[in-house]
Structure 1
Amino acid sequence: TALRLRREAESLRARTMSVLKIAFLSSAVLELLAALGVAMVAVYVGFSLLGEIRFGTWTGRLDLTEGLFMLLLAPAFFEPLRELSAVWHDRAAGEAALKGLDALAAEGLSIRGLAEPAALASTEAPGIRLENLAFGYGADEPLILDRFNLDIAAGEHLALLGASGSGKSTLLSLIAGMAPCVGGRIVIGGIELGDDTVATLRGAMAWIGQKPHIFAGTIAGNIALGRPGISRGDVADALAAASLGKVADAYGGQPLGEGGIGLSGGEALRLAIARAACNPDLKIILADEPTAHLDADTAADVTETLLALARGRTLIVATHDPLLAARMHRAIRIDADFAMREAAE
């Protein structure tokens, strides 16, 4: 693990420096061009006022007022040239993301069921059954899960415990239908998870990760996420459910930075909980390390908020936090051989 971490850190360093080299070079060139443009305007204005240049004006000579006005407008005129650098980097980031998606597609990994979801007929929290589940990330890779069986009762709160890499997050991804199983099947509320049912089943789920992505925009926009039928009242109720009312009042209509700049880790998690609370069809909550990297007090607050949202719903949490696991109805541990044994009732 240490050697792998060192290799990944070195790879990250090389890629970061490569990106920064291009960023600094492009910014320097564009800034130089903008500065030269402003300087040329200043030279023209100065020599015109001295009477050395007598062209470029429609009527008569350039006076002091007009010259100052031109100098004040010159930086704004060349501002789009400066912004070109940022736009270029956004384009490069988008191309890198597309290449990453192409690489995943080439490996045969794809997200299932991107069709418009329909609401589940049942209004009750469903049970979940995993039967002889098998999964691996590649044909040449060893199976992460092999003949895995698990029954989760309707409305049960379950904690998945185990070492890093034991398959906890993979289990959540498979239940969410983010990847197809190699073998076995997943049955949710009596409906087998498949290509024709995954969109409907996923419509009743919410995913709460340890690092939820926050988009550049308002808090309300980050909660609604453009979903149809989400009203301002629904957003207000979700803010109250996630105890984010004071934060929302402090920001008002002010936009957040991309990636959640301006929010603490606990506030970002509360925002993810508010997103889930805005789903009127929510019946299953999948939480992946929701209290990781949080201090004890913040973790306790997030736990209480999560449990309040999960009341009457099926909750599955992958965690290393013994305090969070102790608040669940049941906890199971996945050992190195991917066998399951009950840890608490």
Structure 2
Amino acid sequence: MPNVSQEPGRRGRSGRGRAIPGPGRAAVLLAVAAPLCWLPQAWFAAQAIGRLADGAGAGDILENAVCFALFGLLRAALEALSGRLAFKSARRELTASRVSALAALAARSPVDTGRPSSGQAASVIAEQAEMLTPWLSRYQPARTKAMIVPFVIAAAVLPFSWIAALALLVTAPVIPLFMALVGMRARKASEQQLVRMGDINAFLIDRLRGLATIRTLGAVPETAKRLRIEAEDLKRRTMAVLKIAFLTSATLELFSALGVALTAVYIGFHLLGFIGIGTWGTKMTLAEGLFVLMIAPAFFEPLRELSSVWHDRAAGEAAQKALGALSGKGMPLPPSEGSANGSEAALLAEGLRYTHPGREAPTLQAFSLSIAPGEKIAIMAPSGSGKSTLLSLLAGLAAPQAGKLAVFGRLPAAAREAGDIAWIGQSAHVFSGSIAANVSLGRPDVDADAVAGALAVGRLSHVAESHGRAPLGEGGTGLSGGEIVRLAIARAAANRKARLILADEPTAHLDAATADLVTESLLDLAKGRTLIVVTHDAALAARMDRTVTLVAEGGT
């Protein structure tokens, strides 16, 4: 467990799975009203056929034909408007869910070992999240129609024949029962499929990143074999989901066909005079019988539509669960015992303790340190002594499990959010774009003058001039290792609000001349600011005001 010793430097000491609602009420009401337009359509059609059977001419049914066409147009308009409203609402909810998941991922600490892999996160947000759209736009209207429309149709059949209405109502409940039983299995299968899809995406991205190493070690055949096994497993799980979807559809078709057949047989024998019961004392006319026959299939249509979107529901709920997992809290930030009374200190740490997840021995134990504003501190220690962990605590990327920690009188996470802390890591990511764009990073408060000043601090002015507006390659193509470090320094210099600079091994793996250039850039950056550098470089440490040495006991 690390202890602390301090040495003066050469210069001396100077001063949340968000609940996802369905589509809007208007979209649902329109979706319910659209199929009900078939009732007057069927009535006008049945009346027209009945009149033709009685010897009427074409002119006698013109009014029925016009009414039939008008209700058909109304039904089409209602269905189109309902679908449009539901789709827009679903896309809004999908966008909000993605934004929430991305914000949660961005808020998670880089030292959080529970973070999902980049491949898995990309698969969930870009691909699996799209399954929310059919669920939100189709399932809720279909479920509402299945709860209302069949009963309205049964009520329309009842005045003509109670036995026909009974035949429809008896066969209908069996369908939701079987769909619920199959649906539980479908949801589990969909979740397993999405998990495997995320795993294979993460595996593929990781292997693509390390392709050069894989080829160097001659491991391409083994990697391809592993990928083939993963793909076969995903195919098997996908086919299992499709089998369940087909089973749901077959169940619905069986019972809906049975219900329509029973109604058709009864109407046929009743009109032929073989069955006299089932009506309210009088025999149905041809028009009334045709009306019942025409609306009987519509009784099962909402249930058929619900069956077709049942798999969308299972896949959508699985996608929502995956998005909720990305939006998890992860590593808690910072429940430390208070902000300490650090109004005069740039940084004040008292009795800090931190243990990495899965380890028994603390990485830091009883660590205390006080740094004055404008002071420059070097932290040195053997590997594994907790230098990087300490820097993560100071930056608010992790929370100490005990002790007090304050940066300018506030918790580190609050100071970081306010822009008081600037971080210079061991390897800065270089985006595809110009050097100036890589310095500003799209920050609205970083103008051209701020970029020019930051480039001067990082000794990159001549490099920027030579590149001009030519874009750098993503990952740093076009810059040396030392220039990438100085780019990170320039980014920190562009943050005019930063009062505390945290640097993690800025001169590691650099030759002496380049390390000296980086050191001078750091010292320019630190003018009027507080600087804490984690380093193994004795030359860099000697340029600081103080050196804090973490001594690992017991080889830890």
TM-score normalised by L of structure 1: 0.62
Partner of 2:239: none
Structure with the higher helix share, 1 or 2: 2
2:374 and 2:500 map into 1 onto residues whose CA distance is: 8
The question of 1:254 aligning with 2:470 is answered: yes
1:262 and 1:171 map into 2 onto residues whose CA distance is: 33
2:427 and 2:532 map into 1 onto residues whose CA distance is: 17
Aligned 1:200-279 pairs, distance under 5 A: 200-201=417-418, 203-279=419-495
Write the letter of the residue equivalent to 2:386: G
List alignment gaps of at least 5 residues for structure 1. 1-8, 26-98, 114-123, 339-345
2:516 and 2:355 map into 1 onto residues whose CA distance is: 34
1:136 and 1:160 map into 2 onto residues whose CA distance is: 19
Equivalent in 318, 323, 331 of residue 109 of structure 1: 331
Q: Which has the larger radius of gyration?
A: 2
Q: Deviations over 1:68-94 (max 9, x none)?
A: xxxxxxxxxxxxxxxxxxxxxxxxxxx
Q: Deviations over 1:83-128 (max 9, x none)?
A: xxxxxxxxxxxxxxxx9xx79968x436679xxxxxxxxxx99510
Equivalent in 119, 128, 135 of residue 347 of structure 2: 128
Write the letter of the residue equivalent to 1:172: L
2:370 and 2:221 map into 1 onto residues whose CA distance is: 49
Residue 224 of structure 1 contacts residue 275 of structure 1 at CA under 8 Å; is this kept in 2? yes
Aligned length: 239
The question of 1:137 aligning with 2:356 is answered: yes
Q: Deviations over 1:12-49 (max 9, x none)?
A: 85997489749x99xxxxxxxxxxxxxxxxxxxxxxxx
The question of 1:291 aligning with 2:507 is answered: yes
The question of 1:325 aligning with 2:541 is answered: yes
SS in 1 for 2:548: strand
CA gap of 1:152–1:296, structure 2 versus 1, over 3 A, is same
Residue 303 of structure 1 contacts residue 324 of structure 1 at CA under 8 Å; is this kept in 2? yes
Tell me the CA shift for residue 142 of structure 1: 2.3
CA gap of 1:185–1:253, structure 2 versus 1, over 3 A, is same
Between the aligned residues of both structures, percent identity stands at 47
SS in 1 for 2:369: strand
Partner of 2:378: 159
Partner of 1:174: 393
Residue 144 of structure 1 contacts residue 167 of structure 1 at CA under 8 Å; is this kept in 2? yes
1:223 and 1:140 map into 2 onto residues whose CA distance is: 38
Tell me the CA shift for residue 258 of structure 1: 1.2
Tell me the CA shift for residue 193 of structure 1: 3.8
List alignment gaps of at least 5 residues for structure 2. 1-209, 229-321, 336-342
Q: Deviations over 1:281-339 (max 9, x none)?
A: 0111001000000000000011011101101111000000000000000001101139x
Tell me the CA shift for residue 192 of structure 1: 3.6
SS in 2 for 1:191: coil
Aligned 1:279-318 pairs, distance under 5 A: 279-318=495-534
Q: Deviations over 1:217-250 (max 9, x none)?
A: 1111110111112111111111112111111111
Tell me the CA shift for residue 141 of structure 1: 3.7
Residue 125 of structure 1 contacts residue 313 of structure 1 at CA under 8 Å; is this kept in 2? no
TM-score normalised by L of structure 2: 0.40
